[in-house]
Amino acid sequence: MAAPESVGFDPTRLQRLHDALDADVTEGTYDGALVAVGRNGQLAALEEVGYFDRQTQQPIKQTDLLLTMSVNKQFLNVVALSFVERGLLQLTQPIVEVLPEFGQRGKNRVALWHVLTHTSGVFSGVAPLPPEDLAQYQKWAEYVSGTAPESEPGTQVIYSLLGAHAVLASVLVAVDPDKRTLRQVLQDELFDPVGMADTSLGPSGDGRPIAPVVQRYSRPSGIFHAAEIEAVGGLITAEGTEMPGGGGITSIHDLWRFAEMLRAGGVAGENRILSPATIDLATRNWTGDKVNSLFNYAVDIRNWQPWPATVGLGFFVRGEALTPGPLPNLASSRSYGGWGAGSTIFWVDPERDLTFAMLTTGILEDTDHIVRCQKLSDLVLAAVVE
C-alpha cells in the first residue's frame, strides 16, 4: 500500500469512495464490495465494505472468492491475443478455418476480430440447453455453430452473453500446440504468470467458499431476470463448470493484478503476457458509433439516449461520448476495461497510470450496476490531483 497523497490522490476526496460504498451497503442496495485502486503500480486504496453473505452477517474480506461474471471474457481475450502474437491465430482469420462446423447457415465470413468486438452476429442469448449442457462450453459452441447469424459480421454490435466466447474457447483449444484443456490453457498462459493464484475457470476444487449469488434487483428484469441471475450463479459455482464467457472465480487482489499487467504494458513481474503494440491495438475503438443492442431495453426503462458501444479487441473503451456507464466519464478517452453482470468491473486509465478493480456481492440489475460503476469510478478520478 502507498499513501494516497504519495501517488497523487487527495486523501479526503478518495475517502468519498469508502463513504459511498458504506452508504450503499447500509441502505441495502447491495451486500458488499471489494475495491482496489492503484496508481503507478502501487495500491492507494483497498476497500472491504459490507458482507460476503448478508444472511449470515459474514463480513467480506479481501481474501474472499467471488464470481467474475463477464470479466472472465477479458481473461480469455488476453489469451487469444497472446495466441495471435505467437502466430497461432490471426485477427482476420475466419473461424471456419479452425472450426469447420462453425460455418453452418452463413457464418463462413465471421473472423476472430468480429468475435473480440462483439460484431460477429452469432447467437447472443441464452441457449435452450439443459443445465448440465449450459455449464459446458463445448455444448454451447455446438449449439451456436448450428444457428443462423443475427447480423452480417462487422455490421452491428450485438453483445453475446456466453455463446461467442464458447466458440472462442473452442478455437483456442483447437490451435493449442500442447493440446491442453481450456482450464490448463488459462492457467498456464495467464493465471500462473500473472500471479493470479485465487483465479480459476469454475470452482478450483480446493474447498474454499465462494460468495453466494443473491439478486438485489430494483426492477424485475434486466439482461437477466432476477431469478435467472441466481440460477446462473448456481451453474458457475457447480463443480466441473466451464463457462468461459462468465464462469470465472477470482479475488480482488487477482483482478487488480490482471489490470496492473495491462497497465504495465503486458508485463507481470518477469513474465510478458502481451506486447505494448497489441495492447495499443486492442484498446482502440473498433466499433465506431455503433450502439450495443444489448442495451436497447435500457433506453426505454431508464429514458436514456442510445450511446456508442466503443468496443476494442476484447475490451470496452471509454471513447469520447458522455455515456451512462459503466466506464467513468472522467477517464481519458483511451481508458479501457471489462465488466460483468450486476457485480464486477475493472478498468485502466493509461494516461493517468490508474487502475481500478471491483467485486461485489448482492447482484444488481445491470443498468443499476453500470450507473454504480461509473459513480464509484468517477469518485476515484475526481480524487486525482497530481
Q: What pLDDT digit, counting tens, does each position of 81-114 carry?
A: 999 999 999 999 999 999 999 999 999 999 999 9
In contact, 275 and 281? CB cutoff 8 Å? no
In contact, 136 and 182? CB cutoff 8 Å? no
Measured CA to CA, the distance from residue 73 to residue 44 in angstroms comes to 27
Measured CA to CA, the distance from residue 271 to residue 52 in angstroms comes to 33
- Overall average pLDDT of the 6-15 stretch: 98
Q: Tell me the pLDDT tens digit for each residue of 47-83.
A: 999 999 999 999 999 999 999 999 999 999 999 999 9
Please check the confidence at residue 222 and state whether its pLDDT lies above 90.
no
Phi, psi torsion values for 271, nearest 5 degrees: -105, 130
Measured CA to CA, the distance from residue 385 to residue 5 in angstroms comes to 9
113 to each of 110, 158, 282, 314, 330, how far by Cα in Å? Answer: 8, 14, 10, 9, 28
Please check the confidence at residue 254 and state whether its pLDDT lies above 90.
yes
Question: pTM higher than 0.85, yes or no?
Answer: yes
Q: Which residues contact 219 (CB under 8 A, 6 or more apart)?
A: 301, 365
